[in-house]
Structure 1
C-alpha cells in the first residue's frame, strides 16, 4: 500500500517530525528523569493539537475534501507513533545488542491501516514480534501505549508473535479483516513483510467464498441494528446503511479475492467500471467530509448525524437556503443522494462479483427456479430478470417500466446488471414516454399491485426510473423534513405508505388495523387510494402548503396515469385534505357534536370517509416506528364511526337526550343500586359528562365515586389497554387552579397527559379524567408506578408538597428537541363549537409545558372543560375547550387578546412567577 503521505501537500505545516524529533532528543539528553516524560508528552500534545487544527483549517477552506482530511489525519498519527517509538526505543529502553527476538514491527490496522481517519477515530495498532514476547518488547509496547493513551487517543491494540497473528486471523473474522488492511508504520520492516506473506498464504488461501459470505451476513446484521434504511433522518455516517462501512466492505471483499492495494484497483480486476469507481470515490469523499466535520464540531468520535449536528455541518459545508427548503434540508438531501449512490454501487459491485464467482462454480447469491412463460423479450439469468442485450431499453424506452411490472407480476428479482442498464438509460424517459398510455398503465399496475408494490417501487426509485417517469416525485427523492416527527425522507415515507396499504388490504395487519382492513373490502375506488397515497406528500419542499400544491399536482398527473375525471377529483381531494382526519381526531373534542358535523360537512360522502381513514392510517404509520399507537387508533375509529352515522342517516341516530338516557340505563344495570340511590348519583353528574365519557369510563368513575362519597379527595389510577394509556381519575372539591396542579404533579411523576376531560358535579366536586403515557408513549401499568402517580397528585393537591418549587428543581434534561426553534402560536376559535371557545396552542414540546399552559388559563380566569394533547416530534399542539366563569363563550376581544398573550408567554417558557406565588 502506498504511504499515507504520498498525496499530502505541505506536510510540515501539519507536523514537522524531524524538528520535533530533535527537540525530544534534546529533552532526553538533559537526563532530568523526573520531568523528562512530562516534557516529552507536552511536546507531543502540542504537536497533535496543532496538527488537528491545521487539518481542520484546511477542511474549512475546502469543506468538501473529506478524503484529503482523512488521509492527513492518518499521516499525523503516523508521525506521532514514529516519534514515540523512536523516543522509547532510543532513550527509555535502549538495547545496544538486540537479540533476534527483540524486534518489533508497528502496524496500522483497520481504518488506520487503510490510511483514512477522522480526527477522533480509534488508533488501531498491531505490535508484531518474530517470536514470543521478551521482557524488552513488553516494556517497549507498554511505554508506547501509555504515551498514546496520555495523549487522549483511543487505542485499539494487539501484541502478538508472527505465529499468534496467523492463528488468530484464521479463527476470527474481525482480526482477519483488520489485518487485511494492515500497513507498516515503523519498526522492523522485515517482520511486517513476513507477517504479510504468511497472512496471504496461510490465512486467505482458499477462503474467499467464506469471507464474502460472512461479510454479507455481517453487513446485513449491521443494517438491521441501524434501522435497515439509508433514509433515516439521523443517519450513522460510519455504520448506517449507505455509510462509509458499506464502501469499506466492498474494498475488503475485493482485496481479499484479488489482493488489490487500493480501491481504484477494483476497476482493473473487473469488480467496478471506471464510472462506478468515480461514483464510489465521490460518495466516499463526501461522507468522509461529513464525518470529519462532525468530529471537529463535537471534539469526540461522533458518527451519528443528529439534528443539532446537521445544522452545523450544513453551515460548515457552505449549503444555503433556497425557496421552500432550508440549508439543513438541502444538505441532508445531498447526504441521502450520496447514501443512495453507495447502495447503487454496492449492488453493481455484488453483481460483478456474482458473475465472476459463478464462472468458477461458486455463486454465493441465492438462485430462483421459477420460469414464467411470457417475458416479452426479457430473459431469465439464473432466476433473475435480465436483458437479452445491452441496448434493449434503447430500442423501446417503455421497457424501462415494463421490466418492473414483469418483476412484480412474476415475483422475480431484477438482475443487478439490468438495474445498472436501467439507471444508465433512465434518461431515455422523455415526455413521449411519460405520455405513453402503455407506459402509464404499466406504472399503475406496479403502484396498485396486490402483491409487493413497496419492494418494486423501491427498485424503481433506486434505478431513478421512478423520478424520471414522475418528475414531481423526483423533486422529493432523498428530501428530508427537518423535524423529529418524520423518521424518513419524503420518497421513502411515501413508498412505505404504499407497502402498508398493500399489507392492510391483504389482511396482514388486521390485528393492528381491524377497521381499516374491513373498510378495504368496501372501497370502490381502490386505485384512487393507491394514487392518493403516492401523491399525498408530493409537493413538500415547494415553499407553500404542500396539501394545496399537491392537489394541483394530482389534477395534472392523474389523467396522464389513466384516471377518469371523477377519480382525479377524488385523488385531488384526498391529497388536499389528507391531514384533516388526524387533525380533527387528535386536536378536537369528539364528544362535541359540532366537531362531527363540521367534519362530515367537509367529507360529504361515505366513500371519501373510507378512503380518508385508510390514507390517514398509512400516513401516520409510515412516519416511523413508535408513532402509531392504540390511542390514535381509538380516536380515528371514534371519529369514523360518528361521522359515518351522520353521513348515512343525515343526523345522529340518537339525539343527545336519548344517548344520555341510554348510558344511564346501561350504568344502572352494571351498578344494580336501589332506584333512588342511582337517581341521586346520576343527577350529580352534568349532561356534558354523559355525552363526553365512554360507557366503560363512566362505570369505573361511578364505582370510584360510590366508594369515596364522603371523601374530599380520592384518586384512581389504572392501566387502560383499550386506549394504550393509563387512566387517572381525580375526585376532588372543585376550585380554581385544580387542573394545573394536577398537570404539574403528573409531570413530576414522569407522565405525559394525552387527553383530559374536566367535569364538575352538581354538588361542587370535580370529576376529572386523564389519559397518561410515559415519555416514550407507553402506559404506566405496574402497580408501583400507579401508586406513585396517585401519591404525587395527592401531595400536590393537599399542599404536602411545594409543587412549584419541585417543578423548578426538576433537572432539565438535554433533549433532541433543543435543536429546533418553533415560535409559539395561539389560535382561538368561537365557531368550532356551539358551547365552548376552542383554544389551540402550537409550541416547542418541553417538560411541564402543559402545566405552564394550564396555569396561564387559570390566571386568565377561564374555566377548562377538556384538553386534547398531540405531539408531532418536537412540536406540541395542545387544544383546550374553555368558557368564562359563567359558562359562556369568551367573546370580548380584549379578553381574547389577553388570553392569547398569556398563553404565548407560557408556551415560550417566560411565564410570570406571580402565578406560582399565587399557587
Structure 2
C-alpha cells in the first residue's frame, strides 16, 4: 500500500476480492476475515500518517464489527477518532480529508469524533453507542487516551450489568418480532434473523460486559459456556461467517438478506451442487439448522446469565414446590432434582413439557435446558421407541395450550427430532418457491398453532366454521398428530402425501390407536390437499363434484377434521393466502357436503331445489318487487345463472337492470360482497369480451378469483368477476370507480386493450412447466380444464386470447395462485355451446403450450 490514491486502493480491494473468489472453495474463513481486518488496519494507520494525524493528540479506535475484527467484503468501516479536547479548525480539516479519502476509496464509513466526556455522555444515553464502544480496539494514535476510554467503559455505573442485559434482550425481542419469531423464513437475513449473527453477538456482549471476554475462546475460559456449547457455537458461527462472506462477494451493495436469486449464487460458491434446486436446498437446510442451534443456545445462555448472575443477587428465594420425584419449581422455573435424570430415564424428558403445560406461567430453568441438550446428544434411540415415553407424549395433547406450551418448545429445543425420527428430514427443509414463507418444519408447527387458535373466541370472525367445528371435535389428538405428519415426507421424492400416510399409519399403530383412528389419521395425511383442490379448482356447484368429494370423505367426522386441517394448512403456508373469498369457497363446499350426507349418498343433490331457494330468497329480499318485470328478466336467464349467484347477487342485479337505460353497464360494489369485490357487467355479447375484462383488471394490478359467465337467451352477457387487491383486501371506493371507467372504455372500444406484461424479476429464478389437463371427459355440456403455468403478469389475458382465437366460450373460471405458479380452472364450450371433442381439446392444449412456453 505504498501508493495512497483512491484509484490504487480500489485496485487493491478488487485484487483482494478476486483472490478470495479464486480460493473460496478451500477457504479458511477465519483467515479470510483476519486478512480483511488486517488490510483495513494497515490502510487506516498509513492514512493516519499520510494526513499527519499522527502528529496530533488524537487516537484512532476500531469499533463495532470492525472492533470485533469481523470484516467482510461489504462491511462498514466503523471507527472512532478520540480526542482529549475540542479540535482546532486545522485539525478538523485533516480529519475531514481523512474520512473523505476513505469514502473516495469506496468504503462505507461509519466515523465519529468524540472527546472522552462525549463518549461517556453519549454512551450512557444510547445502548447502541455503548455497545460499539465496548467493542473498541486500539489502532493508532495516543494510547493513553484509549486506556482512559477503556477505564471509563469498565466503570460499574456505565451501563450496569443488569441494565445492559435488559436493554440488549429488549433489542433481541424487537428483532425477533420483525421476523415473526422464527429462524425459518425462506429469505432470511444472515445478521438479524432469529439465530443469526446478532444472536451470537448477544452472547459476546453479555460476556464482554460481565468479564471483558471478547472471543468465544475467552468466553469458554471464563466458564460462561460448556465445552459442548462452545463447539456448537463455533461450528455454526463458522458456517454463518462463510455464507455471509460469500454473499458479500456476489453483491455490489451491502445487504445481508439471502434472497432466492442470491441463494443460488451463494450455494455455488460454497460448493453445493445438484440437479435443479438440490444444491440450494442442501445449503439452506444447513443454514437453518445453524440458526436454530444458535437461537436455542442464545436463549439458554441468556436465561443462565439472568438466573445465576442477576436474579441470584437480588431475588427472594421462594420455597421449592415438588412437581414429581424428578422436578421441582423454584422461583417460577422448572428445575431437575437430579441432573442425570434425562440421561438415566429419557422418558422423563416428556414430563418436563407436561409440567410446562400444567404450570402455565412457569419457564424452564437454564440448567434444566442445558442438561436436556446434553441428554439429547447422548440418546441411543428415538424416544418413541420407549413405551412409557409414548404414553407421556400422547398425554401432552389433552393438556391446555398443548401446542404453545409443549410442542413449540419441544421443536425449539430438538425434542421433536429426538422423538419422531422422520422430523430430522424436514428440519430446516426449505421450499424454493414464492408460495411458502417458512421451512417445512416451521410450517408444520404453525399449522398446529393455527389449529389450537381455533379454540379462541378471537378467531371466530376470520374462521367462523373452524371455530365452531374444532370446539366440538371429540378427540383433537387425532388431528394434532395428523397435522404433525401431513408434510413429514416432503423432500424425499414421490408424492409426499402418500409417503406421509404410510409414516402416519406406522406411528399411529405404534402409539396404540385403534383401527378406525389409524385409518382416519392416515387418510387425513393422504388427502390433506383434497378439500383445497376441490374448493379452489373444481366446480363446487356441480352435484357430481360434491358427490365425489362426499364419497371420498365418507362422514361428518372426517369432514370436520379435514376442514380444520385444510384451513390451518393454508394459513400457515403464507399469511396473505387466507381471505374472505377463500372463506366463502370452503364454507360453501362444507355446507354442500353436509347436505349431501343428509340427502343420502344414493342420489345427487337436487340443484333445482337450490335454484328455487335462491329465487325465493331473492324475491323476499327485494323491496316492493315488480314481479312482472323480475319474471321478464329471469325468463331470459339459464338455470346456471341462479345456481352460481347468491340471493344477494340476484337482488343486486334486479336493482341494476330494472331501470336500465343504456348498456354496457358496469357496476362494482362491496354491498353484496361475499368474499371478494364483485364486478358485474351487462352488455350485448361481443367478441373478446372476456379478454377485454381480464386485461383491464390485470392492468389495475388486481387479483381475479372467480368469473361467473352467464349469457341470456337473447345473447346478453351477465358476467360477474370476483376481484380483490393483491393482498386480498376488498376494493375501496376510488379503486372501484376507476375500474368501472376503465372497463366501460374497453367495452365501448373496437380496439383490444394493449397487453402490458411487466417482468417480475423474482420469477426469473423459478421454473414452472406449463401443463394442460382435461377433467371429466364424459360431460356433454361443457369441458373442464386445469392450467398450470408460471404466474406471470397478463397470464389470464393471454389465455383468454387463445380461447377467442379458437372460438371457445367460458362458462366459469377459478383463478388460484400458488407462489410463482398459477393453477387455474376453466369450464369451456365450443362454438356450438357443447363440450370440446378430442380434436378441439388437443388443439387447445397445443396452442396454450405454444403460447405460454
Gaps of 5+ in 1: 1-19, 25-39, 909-919
Corresponding residue of 1:481: 431
Q: Does 1:339 align with 2:291?
A: yes
The answer to whether the 8 A contact 1:500-1:618 is kept is yes
Corresponding residue of 1:42: 7
> Per the alignment, do residues 895 and 577 of structure 1 end up closer, same or farther by CA in structure 2, a change over 3 Å counting?
same
1:109 Cα deviation from its structure 2 partner? 0.8
Of the candidates 405, 414, 430, which is equivalent to residue 354 of structure 2? Answer: 405
Question: Matches of residues 718-757 of structure 1 in structure 2 within 5 Å?
Answer: 718-719=669-670, 722-757=673-708
Q: Which moves more between the two structures, 672-681 or 167-176?
A: 672-681
Corresponding residue of 2:256: 303
TM-score (norm 1): 0.89
Corresponding residue of 1:10: none
Question: Matches of residues 830-845 of structure 1 in structure 2 within 5 Å?
Answer: 830-831=776-777, 835-845=781-791
Of the candidates 11, 22, 31, which is equivalent to residue 57 of structure 1? Answer: 22
Question: Matches of residues 285-296 of structure 1 in structure 2 within 5 Å?
Answer: 285-296=238-249
Q: Which moves more between the two structures, 108-117 or 459-468?
A: 459-468
Q: Does 1:315 align with 2:274?
A: no
1:712 Cα deviation from its structure 2 partner? 3.0
Cα deviations by residue, 1:285-323 (Å, 9 ceiling, x for unpaired): 11111111112112211211111111221121112338x
1:428 Cα deviation from its structure 2 partner? 5.4
1:549 Cα deviation from its structure 2 partner? 0.4
The answer to whether the 8 A contact 1:743-1:851 is kept is yes
> Per the alignment, do residues 713 and 371 of structure 1 end up closer, same or farther by CA in structure 2, a change over 3 Å counting?
farther
Corresponding residue of 2:73: 119
The answer to whether the 8 A contact 1:162-1:195 is kept is yes
Instruction: Supply the distance in 2 between the matched residues of 1:832 and 1:518 (Cα, whole angstroms).
Output: 39
Question: Matches of residues 256-275 of structure 1 in structure 2 within 5 Å?
Answer: 256-275=209-228
Question: Matches of residues 61-210 of structure 1 in structure 2 within 5 Å?
Answer: 61-62=26-27, 65-89=28-52, 102-201=56-155, 204=158, 207-210=160-163
The answer to whether the 8 A contact 2:277-2:432 is kept is no
Corresponding residue of 1:634: 584
Q: Does 1:352 align with 2:304?
A: yes
> Per the alignment, do residues 219 and 675 of structure 1 end up closer, same or farther by CA in structure 2, a change over 3 Å counting?
closer
Corresponding residue of 1:30: none
Corresponding residue of 2:203: 250
Cα deviations by residue, 1:763-784 (Å, 9 ceiling, x for unpaired): 2111110111222222211x22
The answer to whether the 8 A contact 2:25-2:271 is kept is no
> Per the alignment, do residues 752 and 143 of structure 1 end up closer, same or farther by CA in structure 2, a change over 3 Å counting?
same
Corresponding residue of 1:3: none
Question: Matches of residues 558-597 of structure 1 in structure 2 within 5 Å?
Answer: 558-597=508-547
1:369 Cα deviation from its structure 2 partner? 7.2
The answer to whether the 8 A contact 1:525-1:567 is kept is no
Corresponding residue of 2:646: 694
Instruction: Supply the distance in 1 between the matched residues of 2:260 and 2:687 (Cα, whole angstroms).
Output: 41
Instruction: Supply the distance in 2 between the matched residues of 1:531 and 1:512 (Cα, whole angstroms).
Output: 24
Question: Matches of residues 406-555 of structure 1 in structure 2 within 5 Å?
Answer: 406-411=355-360, 412-427=362-377, 429-430=379-380, 433-555=383-505
Corresponding residue of 1:283: 236
Corresponding residue of 1:899: 844
Q: Does 1:881 align with 2:819?
A: no
Of the candidates 370, 383, 386, which is equivalent to residue 332 of structure 2? Answer: 383
Corresponding residue of 1:913: none
**SS in structure 2 of the partner of residue 320 of structure 1:** coil
1:755 Cα deviation from its structure 2 partner? 0.9
The Cα RMSD (Å) is 2.3
Cα deviations by residue, 1:567-615 (Å, 9 ceiling, x for unpaired): 0000000100000001110111222222211211211111111111011
> Per the alignment, do residues 359 and 267 of structure 1 end up closer, same or farther by CA in structure 2, a change over 3 Å counting?
farther
Aligned length: 850
Cα deviations by residue, 1:621-663 (Å, 9 ceiling, x for unpaired): 1113222111111110100000111012216897333332332
> Per the alignment, do residues 658 and 462 of structure 1 end up closer, same or farther by CA in structure 2, a change over 3 Å counting?
closer
The answer to whether the 8 A contact 1:590-1:596 is kept is yes
1:274 Cα deviation from its structure 2 partner? 1.9
1:362 Cα deviation from its structure 2 partner? 4.1
Instruction: Supply the distance in 2 between the matched residues of 1:742 and 1:298 (Cα, whole angstroms).
Output: 42
1:840 Cα deviation from its structure 2 partner? 0.7
TM-score (norm 2): 0.95
1:427 Cα deviation from its structure 2 partner? 4.9
The answer to whether the 8 A contact 1:133-1:160 is kept is no
> Per the alignment, do residues 284 and 609 of structure 1 end up closer, same or farther by CA in structure 2, a change over 3 Å counting?
same
1:544 Cα deviation from its structure 2 partner? 0.8
**SS in structure 1 of the partner of residue 216 of structure 2:** coil
1:328 Cα deviation from its structure 2 partner? 1.4
Question: Matches of residues 790-809 of structure 1 in structure 2 within 5 Å?
Answer: 790-799=740-749, 803-804=753-754, 807-808=755-756
> Per the alignment, do residues 720 and 78 of structure 1 end up closer, same or farther by CA in structure 2, a change over 3 Å counting?
farther
Corresponding residue of 1:229: 182
The answer to whether the 8 A contact 1:119-1:292 is kept is yes
Q: Does 1:658 align with 2:609?
A: yes
Instruction: Supply the distance in 1 between the matched residues of 2:834 and 2:790 (Cα, whole angstroms).
Output: 30
Cα deviations by residue, 1:766-819 (Å, 9 ceiling, x for unpaired): 1110111222222211x2211111111122222277612xx33x6x25443332
> Per the alignment, do residues 728 and 433 of structure 1 end up closer, same or farther by CA in structure 2, a change over 3 Å counting?
closer
Q: Which moves more between the two structures, 105-114 or 427-436?
A: 427-436
1:441 Cα deviation from its structure 2 partner? 1.5
The answer to whether the 8 A contact 1:835-1:889 is kept is yes
The answer to whether the 8 A contact 1:170-1:203 is kept is no
The answer to whether the 8 A contact 1:749-1:792 is kept is no
The answer to whether the 8 A contact 1:123-1:155 is kept is yes
Instruction: Supply the distance in 1 between the matched residues of 2:552 and 2:318 (Cα, whole angstroms).
Output: 52
